[in-house]
Amino acid sequence: MTGGSIRGAAAAAALLFGLSSSAGATPVGLTAPEGKPDAIVDLRTAGGARLVRGAWRYSNASIVEVDFNAAGADMRPSGSPIRTHDVEPKAGAADFDDSAWKVLDPTTLEGRRSTGRVAFNWYRVNVTVPEKVGAFDPTGATLVFEIVVDDYAEVWVDGQLPRPLGQSGGPLVAGFNVPNRVVLGRDVRPGQQFQIAVFGINGPLSDPPANYIWIRSATLKFYQLEPLPGVGEVVRLDPALDRIIPAGARIEKMAEGFTFGEGPVWDPAGALLLSDPNENTIYRWTEDGGVTVFRANSGYSGADIGQYRQPGSNGLTFDPEGRLTIAEHGNHRISRLERNGVLTVLADSYQGKRLNSPNDLVYRSDGTLYFTDPPFGLPEFFDDPRKELPYSGVFSWRDGRLRLEASDLVGPNGVAFSPDEKFLYVTNWDTAKKVVMRYPVEPDGSLGAGEVFFDMTSAPGEEALDGIKVDQAGNLYVSGPGGAWIISPEARHLGTIEAPELPANFAWGDADGRTLYMTARTGLYRIRTAIPGIRPAMAS
């Protein structure tokens, strides 16, 4: 099964430059809008700069030698003292004092500046949302800053330069003379202020050109976005569901083009990470940047990868220290991505036999990791010659010790804790036994005998049970036949979220944890809930 390219929900249209207002349709979507805006302020004009009370200030930047340390055994700068290079001034901070810098006439931004060849510089400007842009009222709009620097740029907003793995463009280098597009704010209000610092770079750096740095274009674009249209439906079977999924809550489609979206987890930095095991890739989705590649070859890089249906990573989560932990199908292992980029293998075998294909995983608050290990990542599943363990297990891992906790399910799949961590829920992908199991968790972290918590075996369809998440009130969200089943802590089926595609797994996202993100076969969906979900507990 193959899919098209990853793309956001909004359709791109031709860019519009100049100062204008449009009464036509606005773009739909939550990535940085790229269609026709409702109004534009050209910051290269005196009128545009005056409208937003913006004054451009300028300074060259220089490469300087500084003291540093070589990489140590920990791969951090803990080794012997060395000399290296840095850039001065560091003018990205919101409170940086640029009062002594040269003030630029905005009509001269196309003037060639810096020293040429290997060269860097800074442009700084404060902007204020005006009362009107032509006839357009910007109240409630999404405001995008777009700049094209010849040749590269980095954009700081209010002293921040986000740099998550997988970021392409936006505030970071987008490419050779490619527009940098940064969302300054959503639901903006007149009088709201933003401080912008643009670091200009002459390039290519490996072949310094005989030219200088200059600004090709610089605009503020206002978009009065309409909400995304709802898709699918919420089937309500019990009035209690209204206290969980409010009446009127809509399922929204956020992205598409995956071949099998799986294993999502919300990064507190404001992004959703998700696996596509078929494509052997971890993707990163943000409202402002859409979908980018976070990690290629996420689960396997062997020469025989063509034999695998799902060689890549599946479940993702964060440990208490905020390190991404990955269930790697093709590599038969659980790994952890350290902050310095090194991948640490936590577990790949049990009693001398390789794990099957770790599927989903969850940490207990004390740092104990639990994961499921069915053979679904192997090319021939249960009959694959690579399969060494005679069962599909539920394992725990802590401080290097791997322990088999349960082996009573044919296809243990999703895994999640109850809010008090007294129980571990495990779903079973087995069309003959579509059940959610509940295992008591002992004080030492071991699991007691499991019992069937909820049975969906009589539900029609070929689907069994996949991912599972739990909210803070103890309600379960289970990928089952036909959609996401919402089951109360008392094991009552309250209703089903029926997205256009069957969700494979879920993650609680956004700042308040009340948005349920659902990865499906080809799409990414979400719905707002009244109760926040249980997310990985990370130390602040």
pLDDT per residue over 503-532, tens digit each? Answer: 999 999 999 999 999 999 899 999 999 999
Q: Residue 113: CB partners within 8 Å, gap ≥ 6?
A: 58, 60, 121, 200, 212, 213, 214
Is the pLDDT at 9 greater than 80? The verdict is: no
Is the pLDDT at 363 greater than 80? The verdict is: yes
Can you tell me which residue has the tokens 């740092």?
A: 367
φ, ψ (nearest 5 deg) of residue 240: -65, -20
Beta-carbon-side half-sphere exposure of residue 286 (alpha carbons within 13 Å)? 22
Is the pLDDT at 10 greater than 80? The verdict is: no
Query: Percentage of the chain with pLDDT > 90?
Result: 85
DSSP annotation of 176 reads T
Cis before 204? omega within 30: yes
Is the pLDDT at 434 greater than 70? The verdict is: yes
φ, ψ (nearest 5 deg) of residue 484: -95, 110
Task: Give the CA angle between residues 509, 514, 518 to the nearest 5°.
Answer: 50
Is the pLDDT at 354 greater than 90? The verdict is: yes
**What dihedral do alpha carbons 464, 465, 466, 467 form, nearest 10°?**
160
Which structure tokens are listed for 127? Answer: 């902007």
Task: State the average pLDDT over residues 146-174.
Answer: 89
Q: What is the pLDDT of residue 166?
A: 67
Distance (Å, rounded) from C-alpha 141 to C-alpha 495?
35
Q: Is the Cβ–Cβ distance between 525 and 247 less than 8 Å?
A: no
Region for residue 339 given its phi and psi (left: phi exceeds 0; alpha: psi -120 to 50; beta: otherwise): alpha
pLDDT tens digits, one per residue of 288-326: 778 889 999 999 999 999 999 999 999 999 999 999 999
What is the distance, to the nearest Å, from the Cα of residue 258 to the centroid of all Cα atoms in its chain? 14
Q: What is the pLDDT of residue 5?
A: 31
Type of residue at 154: E
Q: How long is the chain?
A: 540
Domain with CATH 2.60.120.260 in the chain: 7-223
pLDDT tens digits, one per residue of 24-72: 222 223 356 778 899 999 999 999 999 999 999 999 999 999 999 999 9
Q: What is the pLDDT of residue 341?
A: 87
Domain with CATH 2.120.10.30 in the chain: 233-528
Is the pLDDT at 104 greater than 70? The verdict is: yes
Query: Percentage of the chain with pLDDT > 70?
Result: 93
Task: Give the CA angle between residues 88, 90, 95 to the nearest 5°.
Answer: 145
Cis before 89? omega within 30: yes
Q: Is the Cβ–Cβ distance between 434 and 427 less than 8 Å?
A: no
CATH class of this structure's domain 7-223: mainly beta
> What fold is seen in the domain 233-528?
Neuraminidase (2.120.10)
The model carries a pTM of 0.85
With b for 16 or more beta-carbon neighbours within 10 A and e for fewer, the 288-319 pattern comes to: bbbbbebbebbbbeeeeeeebebbbbbbbbbb
Q: What is the pLDDT of residue 267?
A: 94
For 435, counting Cβ atoms within 10 Å of its Cβ (0-12 exposed, 13-18 middle, 19+ buried), the class is: buried
Q: Is the Cβ–Cβ distance between 423 and 406 less than 8 Å?
A: no
Is the pLDDT at 15 greater than 80? The verdict is: no
